[in-house]
Each structure stands twice: as structure tokens, then as C-alpha cells.
């Protein structure tokens, strides 16, 4: 039968059959790809676009001009809280993220992440960089919706050259500078999935300390007369810019620009005092300088190019925006705090609530959390609540926050303070401060920086941040303990990672898990050299050693449920028991 004589019904059946049997990628590619680029501790002022007189960022400036820049974009004052809000569209306290270390950075695994949302809608998902929302099962990237992961889960790395990273469940040695390594991995992921819809999340760890950068970037800014710290920071930003340029060029060469949404933003204010458009505060502050960050989004032939929008928005808006832009089917779950920016991006005539309170809060490892410090900004004012006192600034007239209006506008201050307190009470109502590390048949490493220590035990660097370890342990009265929650009861081999001087060999220790205790003697000395670290300025973070000695304590039966893992010394042979990095619980078949 000639085609022109077919009935409408037959044609409809024919077309349905074509759609039904088309390869998945051909149907799925009606939805755009997404590349979300996040930098670490890059302030608003760390762009030549924002009139920084020293740093050069031509590719990032170009990206901003290709789409829309939101000139008043707000994030959290610290890394992990911002990441949680970006990934979930919810205020970070609502997700369980309180701070940046000691388990307080862990996001509730029941939260729905962007990766889970995209994956449920047929996307391939990859993350290449810093996760910082949980390093143990079930809170790791691969547990939270990402098909591919290359990067690290803690708050920082110790070395940026030829470093060790996590690749899905394995540790891998990389070659080259970290930002280059992450970009190359992301481009490989895009290459492998360019015929399918993909969500590629690239959370670079630069320009976070330690300040390490290849010579050619560092020297470029030293030649401008800058000190070592500024030359390192701007060199790291310059290198980021170059890598973003590689990504943009790849999209152009592979004709992916019209089907790829690209977002760029930073997670908090600058990690030091430098050019930031005269804003008050830096990273860790709830003033403008600590929470206002760069943000631009482009999508060729869909989002109008070269346009600035000064409506205040926040990191919680990214999740609902991408969901609507990509026409994703939502996953039922917890309420979203953010608003879709699609009306502002596509000029589709839908109204947008321009005057709303964009809340913030910062917590420096305090448990339980309290009101200090926090606040919000709306279209005109910023409320800051610090040291149990409110401050009020009119950002239209006073963007540098020089004049506190709290004493002359008490009615507004009282109203705003009440709003902030109500918000804080709501988002902190269900916080869980007891955060045992989950033990499963996957095994787990219990790092000492996540342990509870008695007063006589001291860390190598001092703060007990990520990668720090116990250096001083010289009494039989002190102890190191972790709370665990065993999901898979069974036998586990306990191994301790340690360093020990020859003069300290012979100390006897005991490890207790639940009700079972086993003693062990440190019989072998082990020394490991510090890995050379080409820091441009002295660091605050712990350095890295090349290796650790493993000593088996014994095999334990670990029952289901919560219990303590405790180390203490039975006998100290000389001046120190040992330097302790971690306890490893290895499943025994």
C-alpha cells in the first residue's frame, strides 16, 4: 500500500513504533546535558570580570558573557554547607550538615541529590573533584547518585601534584596538577557519554589551601609584584580559567554547546583578605564578603547572552532551576527551599518573587549549634546576628556594610530578628548530633581525626582537620574512641595504621569493640618521610607522609547496632605509644 494512502491511525502506529525502538540516547537527548563547575574558596573579586586589577580570567569572563550572570548570588560561609545546599536545594542545616569536619560535614543520606534526580531521569552522572559531604558509606558520591567519581571526600587534599585520589571504590595514583587531572577526567566522562544526556559535576578544590600551583602560573603573578600568597591564589584561579576554557572549547568542537547547560559558581567567600569589591568579611563570615559569590549560567540559543541580573538568589535555587530547565520528573521527598530561576533565565513571563529572605548560618564545630552567627538578606537589607546581637545594613545605600542601623530602626530589627530565629528553629529542629560511622561488608577506615580523644592525646598539626593524625599518646589513662553502627554483623579483622620510633617500640595497647577486647604489642618500628610539598606559603593543614605501617590486632565479631571502638595503652615503653593514623575494619569471609 503506497504511503500516501495510509490511514492516520496507521501512520500514528508507525511513528509510535519508531519512537519505541529508537536507541535510548536519541530519545533522551531531547533533554540538555549539564556541566556544573564549582570552585573552592574563590571570592566574588577573584575574576577580572569583577574589576580585579591583577587576576586574568578570560575564559570565565567569556562564559559569563555567553549567558546570564546573577550579580547577587549567595552561598554559605563554609565549603560543606554550600555543597549540601547546591546538591539538594535545601538549607544546609536541614540536610544535617553543620560544619566542615569531624562528621559535621556529613549530609543525611536520605536527602535527594541532583545526581539522584538526574540519574532517575536517565542521565549518566559523574563527579570530578571535592565531595565534602561524607566519606563513609552510605554518604559517598557513588552512594548518592553518581555513576562515576574521581576526587576526594574530605575537606581538602594535602598535595596537589601527583596526588592519590579516589576512583569510585578504589584509590588511584594520579599524574600532574590536580585541576588539570580533574578536568581531563571530566572531559573523558563527557566523551564517553556525549551521545547520552549527562550531568557532570566538577567541584575543583582550588584555590583552597595548601597554596600549590605550577611555576608558570605562580611566576606570572609574582612578576606583577604580588606576595607569595596572592601570586599562588591568582595562579590557581588562572589555571582554573584555563581548564574551563578547555571544557568550553571541547563543547564547541563537538557541537554540544546548544545542548549543554554550563553553570559556574564558588562555594563561599575568599580564603583570605584580598580584592573583593570592598565587601565586608571573608570566608567564614555571614557578612556580604563571606557569602556573596560569582554565578553564571549559559545555554546557547536558549538563555539570552550577555545579561546581568541583580535579583538576589541563592545556592538553594540551583536544584529546582535545573530540574525545570531539563524537564525532569521530580523524586518525592523533603521540601525544597529554593525557587526555580527559569522565569529569570528564559524571560517566559512567569513572575518571580524578587524580595525574599535568603538565610545563612555558620558554625565552627560547635555542638549543639546555636543562633550565632547567621542572618539573611532580602532585596534591600542584610540582617547579621552575631554575639547574640543583631546588626542591620541597608545594602542599597551601604554595600560595604559600614553603618549599622540596628539602633535607629529597632522595629525593623526586631521583626527581622524574629524571622531569623523562627527560620533557625525550623531548620535545626531535627538535627542529629550522634553520628556513628556505618560499618558494613564494604569495610571501613576509622581515621583518628574523626575520633573522640581524651585530653592528653594530641594531633600532629593540632586542629584535627582532615588528614591530621595522632602524634602524642604517652599515658595509660588516655583513650581514642569512635562510635560505630554496624549494619552487617560478622567477623572483622582490625588493623591499626601507625608510625613508631625505634626507641618507642614495645608499648602494649588494647582495642575494645563492644564487649570484646584484644591486646597487642607494637613490635616493629616504622618511619615514613613527609611527602615533599611545594607550598608557596606555610600551610595550616597537616602534611602528608608517604606510607603507614599496618599492624593486625585480631579478628572480632561485631554485632549489629551501635557500639564503641576504643584504643588505650596498657603500657608505654618509653616516651610515646605511637603515632596513629586510623583503625581499619576489614570484613573476614
pLDDT in tens, 349-406: 678 988 999 999 999 999 999 999 999 999 999 999 999 999 999 999 999 999 999 9
Domain ranges of the chain: 18-345, 360-427, 437-587
235-294 pLDDT, tens digit per residue, is 999 999 999 999 999 999 999 999 999 999 999 999 999 999 999 999 999 999 999 999
Peptide bond into 210 cis (omega under 30): yes
- CA gap 74, 267 in Å, rounded: 9
Average pLDDT, rounded, for the chain: 94
The predicted structure's pLDDT at residue 500: 98
- CA gap 28, 277 in Å, rounded: 43
The predicted structure's pLDDT at residue 29: 60
Per-residue pLDDT band at 24 (split at 50, 70, 90): very low
Q: Give the cell for residue 37.
A: 563547575
Q: Is the pLDDT of residue 158 over 80?
A: yes
- CA gap 92, 106 in Å, rounded: 10
Kindly list the distances between the CA atom of residue 556 and the CA atoms of 442, 512, 581, 585, in Å, as whole numbers in the listed order.
16, 9, 20, 9
46-66 pLDDT, tens digit per residue, is 999 999 999 999 999 999 999
Kindly list the distances between the CA atom of residue 465 and the CA atoms of 81, 166, 462, in Å, as whole numbers in the listed order.
16, 19, 8
For residues 339 and 357, the answer to whether their CB atoms sit within 8 Å is no
- CA gap 202, 83 in Å, rounded: 12
543-582 pLDDT, tens digit per residue, is 999 999 999 999 999 999 999 999 999 999 999 999 999 9
The predicted structure's pLDDT at residue 345: 96
Sign for the pseudo-dihedral over CA of 227, 232, 234, 238: positive
Residues 6 or more apart from 271 whose CB is under 8 A from it?
A: 41, 207, 208, 209, 233, 282, 283
Instruction: Please compute the mean of the pLDDT values over residues 489-494 and round it to a whole number.
Output: 98
0.75 exceeded by pTM = yes
The SS3 call for residue 3 is helix
The predicted structure's pLDDT at residue 348: 72
Looking at 20-29, 185-194, 306-315, which range is the least confident one?
20-29
138-148 pLDDT, tens digit per residue, is 999 999 999 99
Q: Is the pLDDT of residue 8 over 80?
A: no
Residues 6 or more apart from 139 whose CB is under 8 A from it?
A: 106, 107, 109, 133
Q: Give the cell for residue 38.
A: 564549582
For domain 18-345, the question of CATH label 3.40.50.1370 is answered with no
Residue 203: CB atoms within 10 Å: 22
- Residue listed under C-alpha cell 533557625: 424
What CATH number belongs to 437-587? 2.60.120.260
27-50 pLDDT, tens digit per residue, is 446 899 999 999 999 999 999 999
505-539 pLDDT, tens digit per residue, is 999 999 999 999 999 999 999 999 999 889 999 99
Helices (H), 163-302: 178-193, 215-222, 228-253, 288-291
360-427 CATH fold: Arylsulfatase, C-terminal domain (3.30.1120)
For residues 238 and 57, the answer to whether their CB atoms sit within 8 Å is yes
Q: What is the Cα gyration radius of the chain?
A: 26
Q: What is the percent of the chain with per-residue pLDDT over 90, rounded to a whole number? A: 92
- Residue listed under C-alpha cell 578544590: 205
Amino acid at each position: 500500500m503506497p504511503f500516501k494512502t495510509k490511514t492516520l491511525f496507521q501512520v500514528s502506529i508507525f511513528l509510535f513504533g519508531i519512537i519505541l525502538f529508537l536507541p535510548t540516547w536519541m530519545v533522551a537527548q531531547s533533554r540538555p546535558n549539564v556541566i556544573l563547575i564549582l570552585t573552592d574558596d574563590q571570592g566574588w573579586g577573584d575574576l577580572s570580570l569583577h574589576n580585579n586589577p591583577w587576576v586574568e580570567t578570560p575564559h570565565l569572563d567569556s562564559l559569563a558573557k555567553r549567558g546570564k550572570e546573577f550579580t547577587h548570588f549567595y552561598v554559605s560561609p563554609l565549603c560543606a554547607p554550600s555543597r549540601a545546599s547546591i546538591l539538594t536545594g535545601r538549607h544546609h542545616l536541614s540536610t544535617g550538615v553543620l560544619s566542615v569536619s569531624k562528621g559535621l560535614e556529613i549530609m543525611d543520606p536520605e536527602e535527594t541529590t541532583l545526581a539522584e534526580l538526574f540519574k532517575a531521569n536517565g542521565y549518566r552522572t559523574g563527579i570530578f573533584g571535592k565531595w565534602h559531604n561524607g566519606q563513609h558509606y552510605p554518604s559517598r558520591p557513588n552512594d548518592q547518585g553518581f555513576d562515576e567519581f574521581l576526587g576526594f571526600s574530605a575537606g581538602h587534599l594535602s598535595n596537589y601534584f601527583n596526588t592519590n585520589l579516589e576512583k569510585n571504590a578504589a584509590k588511584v595514583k594520579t599524574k600532574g596538577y590536580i585541576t588539570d587531572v580533574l578536568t581531563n577526567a571530566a572531559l573523558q566522562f563527557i566523551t564517553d557519554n556525549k551521545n547520552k544526556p549527562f550531568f557532570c559535576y566538577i567541584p575543583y578544590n582550588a584555590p583552597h589551601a595548601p597554596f600549590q600551583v605550577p611555576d608558570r602560573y605562580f611566576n606570572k603573578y609574582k612578576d606583577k609584584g604580588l606576595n607569595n600568597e596572592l601570586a599562588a591564589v591568582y595562579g590557581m584561579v588562572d589555571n582554573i580559567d584555563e581548564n574551563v576554557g578547555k571544557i568550553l572549547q571541547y563543547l564547541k568542537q563537538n557541537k554540544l554547546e546548544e545542548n549543554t547547560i554550563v553553570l559556574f559558581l564558588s562555594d563561599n567567600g575568599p580564603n583570605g583578605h584580598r580584592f573583593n569589591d570592598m565587601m565586608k568579611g571573608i570566608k567564614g563570615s555571614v557578612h556580604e564578603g563571606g557569602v556573596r559569590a560569582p554565578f553564571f549560567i549559559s545555554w546557547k540559543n536558549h538563555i539570552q547572552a550577555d545579561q546581568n541580573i541583580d535579583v538576589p538568589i541563592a545556592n538553594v535555587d540551583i536544584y529546582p532551576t535545573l530540574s525545570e530547565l531539563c524537564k525532569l520528573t521530580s523524586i518525592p521527598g523533603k521540601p525544597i527551599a529554593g525557587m526555580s530561576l527559569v522565569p529569570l533565565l528564559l524571560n517566559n513571563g512567569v513572575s518571580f518573587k524578587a524580595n525574599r529572605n535568603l538565610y545563612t548560618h555558620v558554625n565552627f564545630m560547635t555542638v549543639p549549634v546555636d543562633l550565632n552567627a547567621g542572618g539573611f538578606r532580602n532585596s534591600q537589607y542584610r540582617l547579621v546576628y552575631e554575639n547574640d546581637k543583631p546588626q542591620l545594613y541597608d545594602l542599597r545605600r551601604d554595600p560595604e556594610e559600614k553603618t549599622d542601623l540596628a539602633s535607629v530602626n529597632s522595629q525593623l530589627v526586631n521583626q527581622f530578628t524574629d524571622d531569623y530565629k523562627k527560620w533557625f528553629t525550623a531548620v535545626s529542629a531535627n538535627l542529629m548530633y550522634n553520628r556513628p560511622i556505618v560499618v558494613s561488608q564494604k569495610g571501613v577506615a576509622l581515621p583518628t581525626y574523626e575520633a573522640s580523644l581524651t585530653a592528653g592525646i594530641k594531633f600532629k598539626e593540632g586542629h584535627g582537620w582532615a588528614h591530621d593524625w595522632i602524634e602524642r599518646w604517652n599515658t595509660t589513662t588516655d583513650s581514642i574512641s569512635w562510635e560505630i553502627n554496624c549494619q552487617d554483623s560478622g567477623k572483622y579483622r582490625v588493623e591499626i595504621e601507625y608510625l613508631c620510633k625505634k626507641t618507642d617500640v614495645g608499648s602494649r595497647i588494647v582495642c575494645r569493640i563492644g564487649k570484646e577486647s584484644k591486646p597487642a604489642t607494637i613490635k616493629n618500628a616504622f618511619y615514613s618521610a613527609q611527602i615533599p610539598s611545594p607550598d608557596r606559603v606555610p600551610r595550616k593543614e597537616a602534611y602528608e607522609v608517604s606510607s603507614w605501617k599496618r599492624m593486625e590486632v585480631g579478628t572480632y565479631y561485631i554485632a549489629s547496632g551501635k557500639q564503641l571502638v576504643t584504643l588505650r595503652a596498657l603500657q608505654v615503653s618509653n616516651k610515646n605509644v605511637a603515632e596513629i593514623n586510623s583503625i581499619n575494619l576489614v570484613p573476614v569471609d
